[in-house]
Structure 1
Amino acid sequence: MQQNVIDTVSAMTAALERGDIDTVMSFYVDDAVVAFEPGEPVRGEQHLRAGFAAFAAAKPEFRYDDGHEVMTTGDIAVHIAPWTMSGTAPDGTPIVDSGLSVATLRRQVDDSWKIMLDNPFGARLIS
């Protein structure tokens, strides 16, 4: 079960790296909430598509070198993983960023997992 959650997050990340926004969206529940900026969560398909498109435009490459932690109870899972990202801004400037992803997923009736809450800036309150 934990590996299925990790596989879901990894497949969504790979789709984002490819710029395949339709596939990215398929990994989220309809009423998902995502923080594209620290402390500024958004919801709704239009906002999520715009946020993912902005990320994809940077041609990001994500790494989860420190691994994944998954906790589950029933049909709910929490996925926690430190990440690093490199990419390119629209003006050609290199982008390097890192953070702590904290995501909540719900198991679907077909036993797949979809992301409900996605906060890639989970470490921002820790000093």
Structure 2
Amino acid sequence: MNLPKKAEDAHAALAAAFNTGDVNTVMSMYDVSGFIVPEPGKPVSGAEKFEEAIKGILSIKGKMEIKTVYCLQTGDIAVGRSEWSITDGDEVKVSAKGIEVMIQQNDGSWKILIDHAFGAEASLVA
């Protein structure tokens, strides 16, 4: 899978990666020196924990869709706000509002450094 060449394309690329159902394809979207929050209040970091989190999300069978609410970039760092869901036909299995930080790679492509899948939920309290 080709990594996005623009930060604002990271959400669509991540959804496409998830929809392959392949752990390695999804993992290629992330800079695992960062962290992922696959469920509220449970951030994980490191390649092994990232992979566990990705496998957990992939176990929710269905189609992932991610809408970019906004993406702001300065230099090689960008922050995005997303609204995402995993559906199976008409059934919504999970949906949330997330916040992601992307980092540009040396080749100009973008990876997700921080993925707070529920980070923009109104009910989330720090």
Same-fold status (TM-score > 0.5): yes
CA gap of 1:48–1:30, structure 2 versus 1, over 3 A, is closer
**Structure-to-structure mapping, 1:73-88, within 5 angstroms:** 73-87=74-88
Give yes or no for contact 1:6–1:68 (8 Å, CA) kept in 2. no
Q: Tell me the residue number matched to 1:109.
A: 106
Residues 12, 23 of structure 1: 8 Å contact kept: no
Q: CA RMSD in A?
A: 2.2
Q: 1:17-56 residue pairs with structure 2 within 5 A? A: 17-56=19-58
SS in 1 for 2:106: coil
Residues 106 and 114, structure 1, Cα contact 8 Å, conserved in 2: yes
2:12–2:66 Cα contact (<8 Å) kept: no
Unaligned segments of structure 1, at least 5 residues: 88-93
Aligned partners of 1:31, 1:86: CA distance in 2, in Å? 30
Q: Percent identity?
A: 31
Q: Equivalent of 1:118, from 115, 120, 125?
A: 115
Q: Which residue of 2 aligns with 1:71?
A: 72
Aligned length: 119
Give the structure-1-normalised TM-score.
Answer: 0.81
The question of whether the paired residues in 2 share the 8 Å contact of 1:34 and 1:42 is answered with yes
Asked if structure 2 preserves the Cα contact closer than 8 Å seen for 1:33 and 1:117, the reply is: yes
Runs of 5+ consecutive residues of structure 2 not aligned to the other structure: none
Moved over 4 A (4+): none
Residues in 2 aligned to 1:58 and 1:116: alpha-carbon distance in whole angstroms: 23
Partners of 1:33 and 1:86 lie apart in 2 by 25
